Structure 1
Amino acid sequence: MKTILPFLFLFFCGLSYSQTTITGSVVDDNSQPIPGANILILGTSTGTVTDFDGQFTITYNQNPPFSVQASSVGFETVTVEVTTTNQTINFVLKEGTSLDEVVISASRTPERIFESPVTVERLGLKEIKNTASAEFYDGLENLKGVDVNTNSLTFKSVNTRGFATFANTRFMQLVDGMDNATPTLNFPLGNLLGMIETDVQSVELLPGASSALYGANAFNGILFMRSKNPFDHEGISVYYKQGVTSQEAAGNNEYKDFGIRAAHKFSNKFAGKINFSYLRGTDWAANDTRGKNRNNTFINNDNSTRENNIDYDGVNIYGDLVSTNIKTVANRLVELGRLPNPALANLVPSVNVSRTGYAESDLTDYNAESIKSDWGLYFRPWEDDFEIQYVGKIGSGSTIYQGSNRYRIENFFLQQHKLEIKNKNFFVRGYLTADNAGDSYDMVFTGVNVNRQWKSDEQWFGEYTGAFITGTLAGLNGNEAHANARQVADTGRFEPGTPEFINALNKVTSDPDILTGSQLKSESKIYHGDANYNFSHLTDFAEIQVGGSVRQYVLNSSGSIYTDRLNEIKYSEHGLYTQIQKKFLEDDRLKLTASLRYDKSELFDPFFSPRISLGYNIGENENHNIRASFQTGFRNPDTQALYIGFNVGPIVLLGSALDNPERFTRTISGDQISTAGKAIIGSNSLTYDGSGAYNNSFTRSSVVAFAASQNPADLQIANPGLVKPEQVSSFEIGYRGKIDKIIIDFSTYYNQYKDFIATTDVVNPLYGDVQLTQRLPNNIPVAVAALANSDVQAFRAYTNSTADVSSYGAAIGVSTKIFGGFDLDMNYTYAKLDFDREANPNFQTNFNTPEHKAKASFGNTDLFKNFGFNVAWRWSDNYVWEASFATGEVPAFHVMDAQINYRVPSLKSTFKAGATNLFGDEYFTAVGTGLIGSMYYLSWTINN
């Protein structure tokens, strides 16, 4: 015992001295604290981050000596050796360059943006905190090569390299590895249900085709948002924003945004966090009263109004979609015996007349709301980088979405649940995404069916035609007779705000039957799993990764959107990929990255997506990097292109999965079929499905031509093919480098598309064949008789274009410091569609991108002690916006955003005052949306 005791004493002494506590601070070269800087014991996973004052404390269970490293995005990394216990270290970090920032998205592995094999844009903590936009997500507008189209106040659609739509199925948005797209819509609703500002660690944007690593939807680009891990970022952070939105159409309205983040590391094994945010404001009101051309969606240039156009269809007027030829009405009144003197029908001209509609503002309150919450439990069983995560997210929101029609998204609900196991070499994750359309509704059909709640179309047009005849007999001229007819037919119409109107509105918006209501119903799901393993720790030859993913879609809209009236629709897809990165030559100046992915959807043949890139560092100090890459991408037709069966009024949107056309069935009877048609088919009712869109249809443009000429030779057979995956081949050359104090990032690309997914408008005669072989006794083709009798169904069919579609462009960004400490960033983007419109007049590419864009920002984070500012300006050239809802020109615009901020270290707070669209010149980025006004706000952020 006497021998053992001294050894035990020495052992416990050793234990007591093996705990080393280090304290200190991290500041920049202006002595300003750097919150959120990373502190790491080199060679270990032990680390922490600095608090709001730049202070830190870290405990390590070893005796000195060892090294501690301090790093922060935008600053040079500093390493200090610890030589004594309880040592105090004060790091001073010099501001670095954006080329030193680390990105993950380009190769699924950490690497300097300087050596990224492809173009990458990044928003770090510094840029997020200093953005002149009201929200970090809006700050993406200032990145080069990026288009942000404003649908509404809380729904903005991010896109790169052309082909922008609000239903942007070409672009992917990932939040902590989870696809943020809603299962029903198959695209993300901006940041409506995304992340809150205080939990954002970084935002990376990868333009261009990325299918080789990320699969089918990574076609035009990917947005990556990463949140803060509670092991590294503890504490409570809060922000509050109060402001005013100002728009001529909607006036001045209150805007408020509140968010809180709470994170705690309970031990070296357990940590957790929870986030909550609430935003409320008023959407940009849409009040475009210009008329649309009935034969397509182009805006008329004749100043069409209800007063001067009897067949008026206003852009943001709903209900006037319903239009009928009153000569046909007069003839039917004669057939039914309701017009006692048949000769009176001769007084009625063969012209179309539309019902009187309601303004969009009559059908929505424009409340914009976003409620988001997420939580996470994190477990490190061995107190190292091996981590098990459970993350849950829920969100509910109200906004406006513009697709084929304008939709009020009301109380839309989305939830995601993820389980992930990972360390620095691998991850395995699985997650569920489920949505619920809530109280959402189609505003166009709301106007149509509120009208029908008051008076049926048959009654309204009958009264209109009768009043026109009466007015003509009384000596009124044509314009006067039409004005009198509308006044008579509209007598007793439900006026907005009256109890009758409100009751009809509530009834219609809670009814999912498109013939009588406008509610959108859906409770769809996506099940997704993916995994990745990096073998770099096992071999020095190269960095090799392998991975894969699997996904299942479950569509359930009860027939209101998809053809799932009888049962839900399920289908799945999976993929496998590998990537190798290898450095060559002296100093590893040459870097080769090669990737290959295999994907298979149960609905289509498999695809291989290769990518190869070379990067070479030039110069004695390797300050210049040139890169060249060949990338491929593909996208499977989205859920709507496959299984939609949605009536939007004059046309039915019809997906073309192999079994979908026959799933869309309708039965019509009574006055829905002409008297002549009933005689031809020998029945008072007729049942048809969507297969005629693909195997018995004329092009819509040729039917319009036939209506004018009455010459069957003008008719052209459509019969489009079923949709299949679209492919793109992309060539890119780029340069990144530092010349003195100027950083330059340049890229240029050329994209060539194959089997471009598009829609085509066709007309299916409900009897007769489009080959015109079936004839009536008088030798008139049966299908021509169907057209003449208006016994047809128009479809917008999803298919692939045989047209040659290419695009090319370039982007350059320049950043530097001037006058000492002022940040100046400028960028320019060029984008061009290479497409022969004259040879393909009926094909819309929806390129929807300005040819020229320019952006600049100017600011200083420390103009004087604790005070900073930033000003951001952007300009867009004019361009044509093509969409199924409306097509027209978007005029050129320029926008200025600005903010000033003041930090109060004693309160751990930052106060900011800002304004977006500072000069108040209202503009729009897509035809049919509300004009974008100004926002003025104050914000208070604590401990972030």
Structure 2
Amino acid sequence: MKKTLLFLCLLVLSSVAFSQTKITGTVTDQNQVPILGANIIIVGTNTGTVSDYDGNFLLTVNQEPPFTLQVSSVGFQSVTEEVTALDQDLLIVLPEGDKLDEVIISASRTPESVRESPVTIERIDARDIENSSSPNFYTSLENLKGIDVNKGGLTYNSVNARGFAGFANTRFVQLVDGMDNASPALNFVIGNFLGVNELDVQSVEILPGASSALYGANAFNGILFMTTKSPFDDQGISVYYKTGITSQEAAGDNRFYDFGIRAAHKFSDKVAAKASFSYLNGTDWFATDYSQYTLNEPGESDFILPFRSGLAHDGINIYGDEVATDINAVAQSLEAAGLIPPGASALVPSVLVGRTGYQERDITDYEAVNGKADFSLNFRPFNNSNTEIILNSRLGFGNSIYQGASRYQLKNFLLQQHKLEVKGDDFFVRGYATTETAGDSYDMRFTGININRINASEWFGTYVGAYLTGVTTGATPEQAHAGARVFADENVTLQPGTPEFKAAFDKVTSNPDVSVGSKFVDNSKMYVGEGNYNFKTLLNDAMDLQVGGSFRRYSLDSGGTIFTDYDGPIEYDEYGAYVQGIKKFLDDRLKLTGSIRYDKSNRFDPSYSPRVSVVYSAGENKNHNFRASFQTGFRNPDTQSQFIGLNVGRAILVGSAEDNLDRRLPGTNLTGRDAYFDSYSLASVTAFTQSGDPSLLVPVQTPLVEQEKVSAFDVGYRGQLDRIFLDINAYYNIYDGFISSKLVVTPRSGSAFDASGIGDLAIGNFDVFQLYTNSQADVSSYGVVTGLSTKFAENYQVGLSYTYAKFDFDQASDPDFRAAFNTPEHQVKFSFGNPEVFKNFGFNINARWSDEFLWESTIANAIIDSRTVLDAQINYAIPKLKSVIKVGGTNIGGEEYRSAPGAGSIGSQYYISLTINN
């Protein structure tokens, strides 16, 4: 019996073996350079593999010859190869591709060549990442024409296009494999915090400008798509390790390291899986701007006072100096208590004195950490079909610094996404959930404030006593103030590094009540479902007709520390649907696209977003492509605009959702209704303070925030002239109801509409609120982006681009409105490189110049200086080890620059990396 079973098993195995066909081969370019990651697929099936570092591949199939292989790689022309015999060994040469033939998906939600795209598009792939001079692919996006990356820190970078930038960029969307990467509570992306391990990047595509017609709310200034590699097509284990230093005058030289791994395996033609992990650890850029920014009129740079210029100096990166009081009142209290001699209070002037604050480096360790993990299980249940079921989980965790109305230390912050998706050639349906946990995060401003509040009365009492000693022993008032501060700091102030300071720090940062603590609490969630179907096949390719829709639910849960959700989570929904048709005429030279989308939030009126575009390809080889489009975009007010209730020290942020107005605001007895409907304009209060004339005061009632809309006109040319690739784009945007913030001053006990409010202002009995509303002024932006690239002497590659960006806004029509365009008017970018100068050796250089511009934000307004930045790298391949060694540096000129006032100055970064692709 055992012999019989053994015979049967051997018979089965031998029959399987005899039915299998093994095809081996090598894929190279026309210069016989191996191509890594080329896709080799049997035509008509989903069976395939990819080439390894040496360009070699092995494909084992249960199919008898003859059959046809299709071989493709980004940047090369696809070729087909006939397999006619068992155990065939192939040499496949891919000709260099025409950039116009590169396939993209994001512009129209359907595969199309670059030449057919109705809008401008920027793109990088795995080869670009390999040749990048940046230490990570995400920051390398700033080398693309028309794309800005605002650097808030080593692990926090904000991508933007076409102006109105910020670290909290709610006008720009980022998708990873179709999932919105935005924080559920904040409604904006925290860089690549929950993004992609660079080993798993298939492609990155950026659509500058409005994209609401297909992608809904917030795809307003642009949308970034990151697509990862499929475990069916890209198998094996890849590893990278990078290390080096960050160099900054304030922080010195600090080591960083970054490593990652990706593993993928196809168990059969129906089942595959992958997992990836990366981890970065380094020292963030120190923020050491200790100047005081005294609020100026919107549209202008704030006045800047030097460090410790006054007795109540409030430095932007100093925390706790906001704790201030009139020292004459303190002296009177001491005199009444018999602690100083009678009449001594008369020697103490009635001036505001602020405590000595803590520098930012005193209340953060500047440790930058980002870990990312991604797990995917993929099923292709049907033979000869691309229908795929994907289970995917993605995690991002670590430490970073976020700058908004204040500076926040994100400590042990966790974001995660979980997705189930079914997709095929003509459809997709996906559902996913995003959750976040703030961990041990805290507000640095209130950390300093509340540490200093612990012994504030003792400090001010000591200060007054020391001041009296000084003036009664012959010191001038200036000398007495200086001596009093030193004495009070030495004897009362908790000194960083001591156990007493550590105990106070831990106590404050673990308490979410901003009156005594600074902890940042957030357990918000976002649930999304969406789908799309393309009827092209059913219509026998007569036209491309797509319909789709989406549903989104927000659940805000900050325990009352960010939003007014102290009585439970706040939930609201958004949903939408769209239809798009694409038709080609004139031998496929003329392509017309039309689409419209309907969106509805349960708190706002419906919104319709149409788009029409035309593309015409001229020339014998369709190498001259002209495009024009008109579309509208919209964005719903973000979660903060609707529900925030946050005291940031200089102002209290107030959302304008109707059910947010009657909730008590932190640190005051006022409500949102008081702030929106019973306040004075900031400009008039400033004028009153300077002149004392109450007739200058202007009572204001601020309209509640509504949707913001844009009408976008876009024209461009994309073409290839011999060896020169040229792309020119011009745009003009008209905004309706531009969402921004304005500052108002609200009397605490009186009314802005009678004398009681003036009385409150006179004695300082008021609060300053930052409100969210829509500007009634006309706001428009326009610009031109042009880029060209070419090759010479075989492999030398040169690129040059110029970006002009401008906006129009009449400040006089809305004096308290801050447009926050935050974008240089002129930018020039240059690249030069060769991936194969000689065998296995390559290099790349990137240079960027931008002129000065005004940065407007809640934290401060300031002129950002012009800058020139140079990055470079050299690389050497070791084919036997399937490895690449890269040595490079960013900002190697060493001249530090900053992205925004309050942020750390960006120094230089030098690195060496080893990447192994197996």
The alignment's TM-score, normalised by the length of structure 1, stands at: 0.92
| Residues 336/163 of structure 1: CA separation in 2 closer, same or farther (3 Å cut) | farther
Alignment-derived partner of residue 866 in structure 2: 892
Equivalent in 886, 896, 904 of residue 930 of structure 1: 904
Note the C-alpha offset of 1:300. 6.2
| Residues 13/914 of structure 1: CA separation in 2 closer, same or farther (3 Å cut) | closer
> Is the contact between residue 170 and residue 188 of structure 2 (CA under 8 Å) also seen in structure 1?
yes
Equivalent in 765, 788, 804 of residue 814 of structure 1: 788
Alignment of 1:109-258 (within 5 A): 109-258=110-259
Q: Tell me, in whole angstroms, the C-alpha distance in 2 between the residues paired with 1:268 and 1:43.
A: 14
2:666 is the counterpart of 1:688: no
Alignment-derived partner of residue 767 in structure 2: 793
Alignment-derived partner of residue 425 in structure 1: 426
SS at the partner of 2:684?
helix
Alignment of 1:268-667 (within 5 A): 268-293=269-294, 303-306=305-308, 308-326=309-327, 349=349, 351-383=351-383, 384-453=385-454, 455-456=455-456, 458-461=457-460, 464=463, 468=467, 471-472=470-471, 476-490=475-489, 491-539=491-539, 540-585=541-586, 587-665=587-665
> Is the contact between residue 17 and residue 63 of structure 1 (CA under 8 Å) also seen in structure 2?
no
Q: Tell me, in whole angstroms, the C-alpha distance in 2 between the residues paired with 1:246 and 1:720.
A: 47
Equivalent in 839, 842, 845 of residue 816 of structure 2: 842
Q: Tell me, in whole angstroms, the C-alpha distance in 2 between the residues paired with 1:531 and 1:329.
A: 66
SS at the partner of 2:173?
strand
Note the C-alpha offset of 1:47. 2.4
The amino acid of 2:731's aligned partner reads Y
Alignment-derived partner of residue 3 in structure 1: none
Alignment-derived partner of residue 850 in structure 2: 876
SS at the partner of 2:699?
coil
Alignment-derived partner of residue 676 in structure 1: none
2:726 is the counterpart of 1:744: yes
Encode CA deviations 1:348-388: one digit per residue, 9 max, x unaligned: 55543322111111111111111111101111111321111
Alignment-derived partner of residue 883 in structure 2: 909
> Is the contact between residue 369 and residue 398 of structure 1 (CA under 8 Å) also seen in structure 2?
yes
> Is the contact between residue 292 and residue 312 of structure 1 (CA under 8 Å) also seen in structure 2?
no
Note the C-alpha offset of 1:471. 4.7
Encode CA deviations 1:722-776: one digit per residue, 9 max, x unaligned: 111100111000000001110001101001111110111111111222111xxxx
SS at the partner of 1:588?
coil
Alignment-derived partner of residue 8 in structure 1: none
Encode CA deviations 1:809-857: one digit per residue, 9 max, x unaligned: 0111101002332011111111011112344442211111001111111
Note the C-alpha offset of 1:463. 5.0
Alignment-derived partner of residue 6 in structure 2: none
Alignment-derived partner of residue 8 in structure 2: none
| Residues 368/296 of structure 1: CA separation in 2 closer, same or farther (3 Å cut) | farther
Q: Tell me, in whole angstroms, the C-alpha distance in 2 between the residues paired with 1:848 and 1:16.
A: 65
| Residues 352/783 of structure 1: CA separation in 2 closer, same or farther (3 Å cut) | same
Equivalent in 709, 724, 728 of residue 706 of structure 2: 724
> Is the contact between residue 291 and residue 299 of structure 1 (CA under 8 Å) also seen in structure 2?
no
| Residues 346/717 of structure 1: CA separation in 2 closer, same or farther (3 Å cut) | farther
Q: Tell me, in whole angstroms, the C-alpha distance in 2 between the residues paired with 1:450 and 1:667.
A: 17
The amino acid of 1:721's aligned partner reads P
Q: Tell me, in whole angstroms, the C-alpha distance in 2 between the residues paired with 1:35 and 1:548.
A: 38
Encode CA deviations 1:287-345: one digit per residue, 9 max, x unaligned: 11222216689876565221x3222111211111233444666678789998886x776
Determine what percentage of the aligned residue pairs are the same residue.
Answer: 55
Q: Tell me, in whole angstroms, the C-alpha distance in 2 between the residues paired with 1:714 and 1:301.
A: 23
SS at the partner of 2:203?
strand
| Residues 786/814 of structure 1: CA separation in 2 closer, same or farther (3 Å cut) | same
Equivalent in 764, 772, 779 of residue 746 of structure 2: 764
Note the C-alpha offset of 1:86. 3.4
Q: Tell me, in whole angstroms, the C-alpha distance in 2 between the residues paired with 1:279 and 1:60.
A: 40
Note the C-alpha offset of 1:665. 4.0
Alignment-derived partner of residue 671 in structure 1: none
Note the C-alpha offset of 1:61. 4.7
Note the C-alpha offset of 1:693. 0.4
| Residues 468/716 of structure 1: CA separation in 2 closer, same or farther (3 Å cut) | farther
> Is the contact between residue 831 and residue 849 of structure 1 (CA under 8 Å) also seen in structure 2?
yes
Note the C-alpha offset of 1:64. 4.0
> Is the contact between residue 410 and residue 441 of structure 2 (CA under 8 Å) also seen in structure 1?
yes
> Is the contact between residue 153 and residue 368 of structure 1 (CA under 8 Å) also seen in structure 2?
yes
Q: Tell me, in whole angstroms, the C-alpha distance in 2 between the residues paired with 1:441 and 1:272.
A: 38
Q: Tell me, in whole angstroms, the C-alpha distance in 2 between the residues paired with 1:15 and 1:135.
A: 46
The amino acid of 1:250's aligned partner reads A
Alignment of 1:695-706 (within 5 A): 695-706=677-688
> Is the contact between residue 193 and residue 397 of structure 1 (CA under 8 Å) also seen in structure 2?
no
Q: Tell me, in whole angstroms, the C-alpha distance in 1 between the residues paired with 2:711 and 2:403.
A: 30
SS at the partner of 2:446?
helix
Q: Tell me, in whole angstroms, the C-alpha distance in 2 between the residues paired with 1:554 and 1:213.
A: 24
RMSD: 2.3
Alignment-derived partner of residue 682 in structure 1: none
The farther-off stretch of 628-637 and 348-357 is 348-357
SS at the partner of 2:703?
coil
> Is the contact between residue 329 and residue 465 of structure 1 (CA under 8 Å) also seen in structure 2?
yes
Equivalent in 687, 693, 697 of residue 715 of structure 1: 697
Alignment-derived partner of residue 782 in structure 1: 756
Q: Tell me, in whole angstroms, the C-alpha distance in 2 between the residues paired with 1:766 and 1:622.
A: 69
SS at the partner of 1:444?
helix
Q: Tell me, in whole angstroms, the C-alpha distance in 2 between the residues paired with 1:408 and 1:718.
A: 35
> Is the contact between residue 407 and residue 444 of structure 2 (CA under 8 Å) also seen in structure 1?
yes
> Is the contact between residue 510 and residue 518 of structure 2 (CA under 8 Å) also seen in structure 1?
yes
Note the C-alpha offset of 1:214. 0.4
> Is the contact between residue 259 and residue 276 of structure 1 (CA under 8 Å) also seen in structure 2?
yes
Q: Tell me, in whole angstroms, the C-alpha distance in 2 between the residues paired with 1:467 and 1:427.
A: 73
> Is the contact between residue 295 and residue 704 of structure 1 (CA under 8 Å) also seen in structure 2?
no
Q: Tell me, in whole angstroms, the C-alpha distance in 2 between the residues paired with 1:344 and 1:706.
A: 34
The number of aligned residues is 902
Note the C-alpha offset of 1:99. 2.0
Structure 2 gaps of 5+ residues are 1-12
The farther-off stretch of 20-29 and 733-742 is 20-29
| Residues 302/415 of structure 1: CA separation in 2 closer, same or farther (3 Å cut) | closer
Encode CA deviations 1:446-491: one digit per residue, 9 max, x unaligned: 11111112x13x5544554565566555554332343244345433
Alignment of 1:44-123 (within 5 A): 44-123=45-124
Note the C-alpha offset of 1:692. 0.4
| Residues 104/348 of structure 1: CA separation in 2 closer, same or farther (3 Å cut) | same
The amino acid of 2:628's aligned partner reads A
> Is the contact between residue 824 and residue 856 of structure 1 (CA under 8 Å) also seen in structure 2?
yes
SS at the partner of 1:371?
strand
Alignment-derived partner of residue 33 in structure 2: 32
The farther-off stretch of 274-283 and 325-334 is 325-334
Alignment-derived partner of residue 753 in structure 1: 735
Structure 1 gaps of 5+ residues are 1-11, 669-686, 773-780
Note the C-alpha offset of 1:246. 1.1
| Residues 502/14 of structure 1: CA separation in 2 closer, same or farther (3 Å cut) | closer
The amino acid of 2:190's aligned partner reads L
> Is the contact between residue 290 and residue 299 of structure 1 (CA under 8 Å) also seen in structure 2?
no
Note the C-alpha offset of 1:58. 2.7
The farther-off stretch of 344-353 and 179-188 is 344-353
Note the C-alpha offset of 1:887. 1.5
